[in-house]
Structure 1
């Protein structure tokens, strides 16, 4: 499931689209850290799962994409930086978000797990980068 850092990042976004807190829990370390999301900052896997469950009760992600994925691996640690976008519905209102993200992953027992996740939303008027693009898309989900 997460044999590479890129696979772990894709699995994370797919679990968010699927509304699957169980998989999110399996993809994170107990001392997980998050910055920039809806809660601003969260510490620990339990906080992530509580926030995700609250989000899943009110929202859904219909589609997501990752572009310009850059990975720097340092032994059993990897840093993944990328552009992300997502569309969906929150409290029956459509949303379209995009921005920059950085994930820190640690390899344990042959699997890459999230230690930290940071997102910075960009304004709707922000343009795409001129860099090389490698895109991974999530398929649309019907709820």
Structure 2
């Protein structure tokens, strides 16, 4: 099986674990030093990333991972794709569409996620806007 196929299988297992809220499966898919850079620039290590599901703070209703391109660098692969989610965090909607970069590494013949970065596509996601803040341009131009 090609590296691309193996990494795509890892990505599919990740999507399924996120949608199930399966903290144990997510932990098993990630390196010990895994890091997530969220869409607002926050950084989570592996325990913090997994804990959001253990506590029920993060609920992913659906995650669509598409337009992913895998670049093979031997025991490392970089995947850039589109991450579209319907989710809530601590009861607040965190729906959005993000350009995402995943770094996967091969350890002992097994592919693991070493990092994920999410960047909003287009305008900041709705959950990043502060409705109480004054608008600089109320006419929309």
What's the TM-score bracket when you normalise by the shorter of the two chains?
Answer: 0.7 to 0.9
1:37-94 CA distance string (max 9 Å, x none):
5781023x2232223434xx13422222122111111111100000110113445555
Contact 1:62 1:86 in 2 (8 A): yes
Cα RMSD for the two superposed structures: 2.7
Distance in 2 between the 1:116 and 1:125 partners? 22
Distance in 2 between the 1:15 and 1:66 partners? 13
In structure 2, stretches of 5+ residues that fail to align are: 126-141
User: With CA pairs under 8 Å and 6+ residues apart, which has the higher RCO, 1 or 2?
Assistant: 1
Q: How many residues align?
A: 122
Match for 1:30 among 29, 32, 45?
Answer: 32
Distance in 1 between the 2:10 and 2:86 partners? 21
Contact 2:98 2:118 in 1 (8 A): yes
Distance in 2 between the 1:27 and 1:35 partners? 17
In structure 1, stretches of 5+ residues that fail to align are: 127-143
Residue of structure 2 equivalent to 1:112: 111
Distance in 1 between the 2:52 and 2:57 partners? 11
Distance in 1 between the 2:6 and 2:50 partners? 23
Larger Rg, first or second structure (1 or 2):
2
Distance in 1 between the 2:64 and 2:42 partners? 22
Contact 1:33 1:42 in 2 (8 A): yes
